[in-house]
């Protein structure tokens, strides 16, 4: 048990914090240097509405986190207080910020929620349903933006990304990501809400094949997690799911509108929904990022996807500001909260051993 705790807690070490900061600031600095235009920065005028829109961006970040806190309280049947929900969400975001986006912070999330006194079966259900709700937001929203914006306006970037030793454009990456999310979500819905035991049986049969046998134990474990999640969540009323999805919708929408408010602080914006839509595409690319929290990749993608809405030469600076508002705070807040949280969930003896 101590070894398991040490492995999880290693995620929170200082070197894990400094890596995404160095990557993000490094890429932002390179982009700023390459496109720096002294005249552009001299023409920036800080007026009252600049501060107002930046304040709105900060408020939206708060709305995002409050919606997440509401959702975690809902999923735990209010077993967590608002204060403890805040700590869980901040540490969860911290873990996501210091682990590669393609890996995610789910393993650490299981650890954090479980240490709040929630049994592992229920914890597994909460983390799995949280991921499912996030994916459902994307699955339902993507077709809407395709209809309202059109793919010609959505995929204008010339950037190429390597995946499976093959280069894909932004449209290709988006479609691959969307189909993958759709398939994965459909499998989880089938397993959790339709036939959990049948899902486990199919999973074990597949992983008994010679090439996959080495992962058979993990597959059986996943099957058990699906069954547990089904027992915890299958009987929930429609209102429960409506509230949970509503919180998810509020959280993600607030997250995306942060960029709109940030740009409005310096420039006029005429097509807010297109900026919102571009961010949905950006999210798929950041989802497969091998860097912690998408650091480095996020700054580049921001300039590439949203540069046309920003004065030339200013995009890298706004990319850095975007990360300062929406990414780096979780690193510092998580680092501040962690010691007190550890003292609360562990005895001093265990902390010393870990």
- Unique residue bearing structure tokens 């005028």: 45
Q: What average pLDDT does this structure show over 311-329?
A: 83
pLDDT-based confidence at residue 128 (cuts at 50, 70, 90): confident
The residues near 228 (Cβ < 8 Å, ≥ 6 apart) are: 121, 122, 124, 125
* pLDDT above 50 (res 352): no
Instruction: Look up residue 160 and give its DSSP letter.
Output: E
* pLDDT above 50 (res 354): no
* pLDDT above 70 (res 331): yes
Q: How far apart are CA 3 and CA 8, in angstroms?
A: 9
| Distances 155 to 150, 173, 274, 279, 299 between C-alpha atoms, Å | 9, 11, 11, 11, 18
pLDDT of res. 2:
47
In the three-class reduction of DSSP (H, G, I as helix; E, B as strand; rest coil), residue 32 is classed as: helix
| The two three-digit tokens of residue 280, written as one number | 């949905």
Domain map of the chain by residue range?
A: 2-353
* pLDDT above 70 (res 103): no
Q: How far apart are CA 90 and CA 79, in angstroms?
A: 17
**What pLDDT, in 10s, does the model give residues 56-80?**
999 999 999 999 999 999 999 899 9
Q: To the nearest whole percent, how much of the chain has pLDDT over 90? A: 19
**What pLDDT, in 10s, does the model give residues 184-206?**
889 888 888 888 888 888 888 88
pLDDT of res. 163:
60
């Amino acid at each position: 048990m101590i070894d398991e705790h040490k492995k999880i807690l290693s995620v929170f070490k200082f070197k894990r914090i400094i890596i995404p900061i160095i990557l993000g600031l490094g890429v932002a600095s390179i982009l700023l240097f390459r496109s720096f235009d002294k005249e552009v920065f001299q023409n920036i005028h800080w007026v009252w509405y600049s501060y107002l829109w930046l304040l709105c961006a900060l408020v939206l970040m708060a709305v995002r986190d409050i919606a997440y806190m509401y959702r975690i309280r809902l999923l735990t049947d209010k077993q967590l207080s608002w204060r403890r929900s805040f700590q869980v969400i901040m540490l969860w975001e911290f873990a996501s910020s210091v682990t590669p986006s393609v890996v995610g912070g789910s393993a650490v999330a299981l650890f954090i929620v479980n240490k709040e006194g929630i049994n592992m079966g229920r914890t597994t259900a909460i983390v799995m349903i949280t991921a499912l709700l996030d994916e459902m937001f994307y699955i339902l929203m993507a077709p809407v933006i395709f209809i309202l914006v059109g793919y010609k306006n959505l995929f204008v970037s010339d950037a190429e990304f390597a995946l499976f030793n093959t280069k894909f454009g932004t449209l290709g990456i988006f479609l691959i990501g969307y189909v993958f999310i759709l398939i994965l979500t459909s499998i989880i819905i089938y397993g959790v809400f339709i036939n959990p035991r049948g899902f486990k049986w199919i999973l074990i049969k597949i992983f008994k094949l010679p090439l996959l046998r080495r992962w058979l134990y993990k597959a059986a474990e996943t099957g058990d997690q699906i069954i547990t999640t089904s027992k915890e969540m299958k009987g929930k009323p429609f209102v429960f799911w409506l509230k949970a999805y509503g919180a998810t919708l509020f959280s993600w929408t607030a997250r995306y509108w942060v960029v709109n408010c940030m740009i409005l602080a310096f420039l006029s914006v005429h097509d807010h929904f297109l900026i919102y839509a571009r961010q949905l595409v950006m999210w798929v690319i950041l989802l497969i990022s091998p860097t912690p929290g998408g650091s480095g990749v996020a700054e580049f993608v921001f300039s590439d996807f949203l540069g046309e809405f920003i004065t030339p030469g200013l995009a890298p600076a706004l990319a850095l500001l975007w990360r300062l508002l929406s990414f780096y705070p979780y690193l510092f807040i998580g680092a501040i909260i962690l010691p007190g949280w550890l003292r609360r969930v562990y005895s001093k003896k265990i902390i010393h051993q870990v």
